[in-house]
Amino acid sequence: MGEEIARSHFNAQDQRDYARHMAREMRLLSRWFEEGRFSERAGMAGFELEAWLVDGDCRPAPLNDAFLARADDPLLAPELARFNIELNVDPRELCGDSLRKLHKQLDALWARCRQHAGELGCQLVMTGILPTLQDDALNLGNMSAMKRYQALNAQVMRARQGRPLRLDIVGEEHLVSEHRDVMLESAATSFQIHRQVPQSRAVRYYNAAIVASAPVVALAANAPFLFGRHLWQESRIPLFEQAVEVGGYGDAAQGPLRRVSFGSGYAGRSLEECFVENTEHYPVLLPVKLNDPPEYMRHVRLHNGTIWRWNRPLIGFDDDGRPHLRIEHRVAAAGPTVVDEIATAAFFYGLQEALAGSEPAPEQLLEFARAKDNFYRAARHGIEAQVQWLDGRSHRLGSLILQRLMPQAREGLENLAVDRTDIAYYLSVVYERVSRGQTGAAWQVQYAAKVGGDMTRLTRRYLALQQEGLPVHQWPL
């Protein structure tokens, strides 16, 4: 989904042509999996961070075209809405001082972006959902001027036969909203964690990411409000799942599959299963004409980019052209600060590594339905959620993180030969966040109560503290 496309309207012949090209690529992809063609290189790590441009009143500022033109940086990209941008880092091998270097690069990029925003008379803020966001800001006039977004909107509404997208979230309060476009999706901004994995162990890493999703979404929660309503600790989850509700073909047992979901199960033999599911259960949304050879997997990759599993397998290529597999972990919210983001990533990388190497495999101890239930409980209740873990027992998630998962994350990072000083520092940020019970979401809820639910005052204070750069567990109320 990251690349621009040539046009935004398609016909039946476009669909047939796309299906033919994708079938050819899928045959080749199957051969790659069968013959072990994917890279065995492991540990390359990187991130994507989505952020908001806001005006002097902390309202969305639809200026990303001017911002990106001013910045002129290949590490920056537009998002669906004109008030959102995406920041990227150069991937690094996950070892030694790589976390510190990734932190330094993202911090420097963030500082440059803040400067560019200031030159346009606005500010930049990273948060899962902007507290001041109002429903009426999510309109087609605020859609980024790119054909791929126009096409996505047209195809989603066509697949829904014009029926509006309905948002219905029950949390601390109840929110219902309807939209006749996909702009609801732009209300959710994330910190997406990538890791390249070797083909021979890709299934274990993918399943480990699924198991790790509940603790990560809880400790990274930073989206308690939408349109002024207090919903889930991580309201991005139900928001995004309902914002692009097209569905797929499904089956008699489980019904249509959602395009944004926790997935339909663990991987078994190989990650090929996910790409086969894509072709068998999800209609193509963007049947774009692409002229690249099948070895580039352009049709398979573009289709995969319109199916948003919270843990999504990706196909990429090493510098020497060899194909590789990555896991994109999509559960963490943006913010509250860069150091919080890196600490969250460190915890995830370490826990994923430990779970992928443990015996018996975690997926043998925790059935997928239970991992899925853990995830939604964690998104709704944060670190206070009760989850069932690998021992078959129920635990308060915060206590589980502190007592069991933190040591596992440390062990995993040590196994990756990450610098021990960096391990201690970044995991201490997570430890303090959880032990004090002050995630980004928890701070927002408490501060909102202090100021009588004034979302503007909340956002001003949040932004001021974010700019100071201290991790959220040190933010005063």
Q: What angle do CA 239, 74, 339 make, to 5 degrees?
A: 60
* Spatial CA neighbour of 26 closest among 259, 281, 289, 298: 298
Q: What angle do CA 78, 79, 83 make, to 5 degrees?
A: 90
Beta bridge partners, 81, equal 143
pLDDT of 252 reads 40
Residue/partner pairs of 315-320 with CB below 8 Å, 24 or more apart? 315/29, 316/196, 318/39, 318/41
Q: Give residue 87's identity as a one-letter amino acid code.
A: L
**CATH code for position 160:** 3.30.590.20
Whether 5 is in a domain gets the answer no
Distance, in Å, from the CA atom of 339 to the CA atom of 345, rounded to the nearest integer, reads 10
Beta bridge partners of 226: 229
Residue 2 lies in a domain: no
162-205 tens-digit pLDDT = 889 999 999 999 999 999 999 999 999 999 999 999 999 999 99
- Candidates 163, 136, 95; CA nearest to 346 is 95
Would you say residue 349 lies in a domain?
yes
Phi and psi at 175, nearest 5°, equal -125, 130
Residues with pLDDT less than 50, the chain: 1, 252-254
272: which residues sit within 8 A by CB, 6+ positions away? 29, 30, 33
Q: Evaluate whether 94 touches 44 at the Cβ level (below 8 Å).
A: yes
Is 389 inside a domain boundary? yes
SS in 3 state form for the chain? CCCCCCCCCCCHHHHHHHHHHHHHHHHHHHHHHHHCCCCCCCCEEEEEEEEEEECCCCCECCCHHHHHHHHCCCCEEECCECCEEEEECCCEECCECHHHHHHHHHHHHHHHHHHHHHHCCCEEECCCCCCCCCHHHCCHHHECCCHHHHHHHHHHHHHCCCCCEEEEEECCCEEEEEECCCHHHHHCCEEEEEEEECHHHHHHHHHHHHHHHHHHHHHCCCECEECCEECCCECHHHHHHHHCCCCCCCECCCECCCCEECCCCCCCCCCHHHHHHHHHHCCCCCCCCCCCCHHHCHHHHHHHCCCEECEEEEEEECCCCCEEEEEEEEEEECCCCHHHHHHHHHHHHHHHHHHHHCCCCHHHHCCHHHHHHHHHHHHHHHHHCEEECCCCCEEEHHHHHHHHHHHHHHHHHHHCCECHHHHHHHHHHHHHHHHCCCCHHHHHHHHHHHCCCCHHHHHHHHHHHHHHCCCHHHCCC
**Phi–psi pair at 182, nearest 5 degrees:** -95, 10
Structure confidence at residue 251 (pLDDT): 52
Phi then psi for residue 305, to 5 deg, are -70, -10
**In contact, 234 and 128? CB cutoff 8 Å:** yes
**Per residue in 267-278, pLDDT tens?**
999 999 999 999
Quick one: pLDDT at residue 249? 58
60 φ/ψ angles, rounded to the nearest 5 degrees: -55, 135
Residue 6 included in any domain: no
Gap between the Cα atoms of 275 and 1, Å rounded: 16
Q: Which residues span the domain enclosing 155?
A: 12-471
Instruction: Give the whole-angstrom CA distance, residue 374 versus residue 380.
Output: 10
Asked whether residue 477 is domain-assigned, the answer is: no
| 24 within some domain | yes
Find out whether 241 and 258 touch, Cβ atoms under 8 Å. yes
pLDDT on residue 253: 43
Residue 27 lies in a domain: yes
Number of domains in the chain: 1
Number of residues that make up the chain: 477
Structure tokens that stand for 336 in this block: 């509250």
